[in-house]
Amino acid sequence: MASVEALEKREGLTLAYELGKAGIDVLLLLEKGTLPNDTLSTHNFFSNSVAMLRDMGVMDRLLATETPLYKRAYIVFDDAVIDGHYPEVNGENACFCIKRTYLDHALFEAATAQAGVTAIDFQLCHAAGGQPHFNYMNIR
């Protein structure tokens, strides 16, 4: 299991994965239609996150989407130039930026493959009186 410090930096599906791997029961509530999510996103995964994704067993699946890895940053802003290679963390020295549709699905599959992780699809509805209620769609 990841250390307490590592768990403090995780959320959502990666946290569900680690807790399930540790034998802790997890209930994921997924609003119907939210996965896979094609939200505009600029998630750069640096070498430490690439190492985490590889440890979770999803990195090869993500790389199969033909998302390129990059090892160097070159940024020019006015007269300032930042040029350098990303540091190596746990044997990984590359970064990448992947579409949420690929990422969310791979993380969901990894999390729900852990014993004790259950996902429930739901839809939030409003009754005539305005009181919200849940319609459970599917339990995985």
* Least confidently predicted of 9-18, 32-41, 90-99: 32-41
Domain span at residue 72 reads 42-98
Q: What per-residue confidence (pLDDT) applies to 98?
A: 87
Residue 10 lies in a domain: yes
Q: Would you tell me how many other CB atoms lie within 10 Å of the CB of residue 19?
A: 20
* Residue 103, domain member (yes or no): no
Please write the tens of the pLDDT for every residue from 78-137.
Answer: 999 999 999 999 999 999 988 888 888 899 899 999 999 988 876 666 566 665 555 555
Q: Give a yes or no: residue 83 inside a domain.
A: yes
- pLDDT over threshold 60, residue 5: no
C-alpha span between 96 and 122 (Å, rounded): 32
Instruction: Check: CB of residue 106 under 8 Å from CB of residue 14.
Output: no
Q: How many domains does the chain have?
A: 2
Note whether 54 and 69 are same-domain residues.
yes
Whether residues 11 and 30 share a domain: the answer is yes
Whether 132 is covered by a domain: the verdict is yes
pLDDT, mean over the chain: 80
- Cβ neighbour number for residue 4 with a 10 Å cutoff: 7
* pLDDT higher than 80, residue 45: yes
Cis peptide bond N-terminal to 87, omega within 30: no
Global pTM value: 0.74
Kindly report the length of the chain: 140
